[in-house]
């Protein structure tokens, strides 16, 4: 198997979605378990060097969760949400909100597929921006540009360099 | 950097015409007529896009009543790019850790004789 399948792929199929896929050398049941229990989440959730001092999970549809991710300097970042749908070992849907940016809530659908003993997580984050909710984006010209956020970020960087 | 500002920036960037307008302004200031030239849409439609970009703080309009040239204001773009970078990094590193942890779990399972 090529190593590239173990890297994170990020795409945006629509203006409001970010899709991430990543393949793991483990059966689906195990991956699902690692994503659904606090004792496991503590071991991996958050960037390198961060700990998860708070990891509260009420793993059932309608159940809430809250994580506090902390870095070595003691800075804390809290995240919260609610499980919307749980289909073991295939699918978890939750709402996701960084408490530092209240109001910016995404609905994340995480699907697990297994092939040859390897499991791929596909996470689709659907963002609901205030503007879109209020119907302020009524230009009628949006055709769902399937541009990756990576490419957008590159464009943004180029534009900033040009204007600097 | 507020949520509202980030939302406004992303909403403004969601449209391909507005992205094209910003890319054009990155090369220097331009009037509405100049900005509209490459597009098949009407001047009022371009003006509407410019209003969205102005509200998002992504462009500035000149005071000259005749020309009102537009110019790029890049600060919110930097914030948006930074947010995306952070988001990606967060998940990239979490998934790397999950990968490592899954190996540990599997080794443990083998040791315990399960499966």
β pairing state of A17-24 and B59-61: unpaired
pLDDT of A141 strictly over 50: no
pLDDT of A3 strictly over 70: no
Residue A45, C-beta contacts closer than 8 angstroms, at least 6 positions apart: A52, A55, A67, A69, B94, B97, B98
Mean pLDDT (whole number) for A29-49: 92
**DSSP H helices in chain A:** 28-36, 38-44, 130-133, 149-163
SS3 B88: helix
Pairwise CB contact (< 8 Å): B92 & A8: yes
- Quote the minimal CA–CA distance from A84 to chain B in Å: 21
Lowest model confidence (mean pLDDT) among A53-67, A70-84, A89-103, B45-59: A89-103
User: In chain A, what residues touch B96 (CB-CB under 8 Å)?
Assistant: 48
A161 pLDDT band, cuts 50/70/90, is low
pLDDT of B96 strictly over 90: yes
* Structure tokens that stand for A113 in this block: 């597929």
User: In chain B, what residues touch A18 (CB-CB under 8 Å)?
Assistant: 87
Cβ neighbours of B37 (radius 10 Å): 11
Mean pLDDT (whole number) for B41-70: 89
Q: Report the C-alpha gap between A82 and A95 in whole angstroms.
A: 5
Lowest model confidence (mean pLDDT) among A62-71, A91-100, A152-161, B63-72: A152-161
Q: Given CB atoms, is B13 within the 8 Å cutoff of chain A? A: yes
Residue from B49, B71, B90 to probe the interface with A (highest A Cβ count within 10 Å): B90
Pairwise CB contact (< 8 Å): A47 & B93: yes
Q: Given CB atoms, is B14 within the 8 Å cutoff of chain A? A: yes
The per-residue pLDDT for A87 is: 98
User: In chain A, what residues touch B101 (CB-CB under 8 Å)?
Assistant: 34, 40, 43-44
% of chain B beyond a pLDDT of 90: 39
Pairwise CB contact (< 8 Å): A18 & B87: yes
The per-residue pLDDT for A17 is: 79
Q: Please name the residue of chain A whose CA is at the shortest distance from the CA of residue B52.
A: A137
B52, exposed or middle or buried, with CB in 10 Å at 0-12, 13-18, 19+?
Answer: buried
**DSSP H helices in A67-148:** 130-133
pLDDT of B30 strictly over 90: yes
Mean pLDDT (whole number) for B69-97: 86
The per-residue pLDDT for A108 is: 93
Distances (CA, A) of B58 to A100, B31, B69, B78: 23, 15, 14, 11
ipTM of the complex: 0.71
Mean pLDDT (whole number) for A75-82: 93
* CB-nearest partner of B16 from A25, A145, A150: A145
Q: Report the C-alpha gap between A27 and A20 in whole angstroms.
A: 19
* Structure tokens that stand for A40 in this block: 């496991």
Residue from A149, A151, A164 to probe the interface with B (highest B Cβ count within 10 Å): A149
Structural domains of chain B, ranges and CATH numbers in brackets: 3-112 (1.10.10.10)
Lowest model confidence (mean pLDDT) among A11-15, A112-116, B31-35, B101-105: A11-15
Q: Please name the residue of chain B whose CA is at the shortest distance from the CA of residue A9.
A: B92
User: In chain B, what residues touch A97 (CB-CB under 8 Å)?
Assistant: none
CATH topology of domain A3-129+147-163: Alpha-D-Glucose-1,6-Bisphosphate; Chain A, domain 4 (3.30.530)
For B89, how many CA atoms within 13 A lie in the half-sphere containing its CB?
10
User: What's the predicted TM-score (pTM) here?
Assistant: 0.69
Q: Given CB atoms, is A117 within the 8 Å cutoff of chain B? A: no
């Amino acid at each position: 198997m090529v190593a590239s399948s173990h890297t994170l792929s990020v795409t945006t199929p629509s203006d409001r979605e970010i899709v991430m896929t990543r393949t793991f050398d483990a059966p689906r049941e195990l991956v699902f378990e690692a994503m659904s229990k606090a004792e496991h989440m503590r071991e991996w959730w958050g960037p390198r060097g961060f700990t998860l001092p708070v990891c509260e999970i009420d793993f059932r549809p309608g159940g809430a969760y809250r994580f506090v991710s902390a870095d070595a300097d003691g800075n804390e970042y809290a995240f919260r949400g609610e499980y919307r749908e749980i289909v073991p070992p295939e699918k978890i849907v939750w709402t996701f909100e960084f408490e530092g940016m209240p109001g910016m809530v995404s609905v994340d659908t995480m699907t697990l597929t297994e092939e040859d003993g390897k499991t791929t997580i596909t996470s689709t984050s659907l963002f609901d921006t205030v503007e879109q909710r209020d119907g302020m984006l009524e230009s009628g010209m949006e055709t769902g540009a399937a541009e990756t956020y990576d490419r957008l970020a590159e464009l943004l960087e180029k534009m900033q360099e040009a204007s600097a | 950097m507020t949520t509202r500002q980030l939302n406004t920036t992303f909403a403004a960037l969601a449209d391909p015409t507005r992205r094209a307008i910003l890319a054009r302004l990155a090369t220097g200031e331009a009037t509405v007529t100049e900005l509209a030239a490459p597009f098949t849409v009407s001047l009022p439609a371009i003006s509407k896009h410019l209003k969205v970009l102005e509200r998002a703080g992504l462009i500035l309009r000149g005071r000259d009543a005749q020309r009102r040239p537009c110019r790029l204001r890049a600060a919110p773009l930097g914030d948006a790019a930074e947010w995306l970078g952070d988001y990606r990094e967060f998940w990239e590193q979490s998934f790397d850790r999950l990968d490592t942890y899954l190996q540990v779990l599997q080794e443990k399972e083998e040791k315990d004789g399960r499966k």
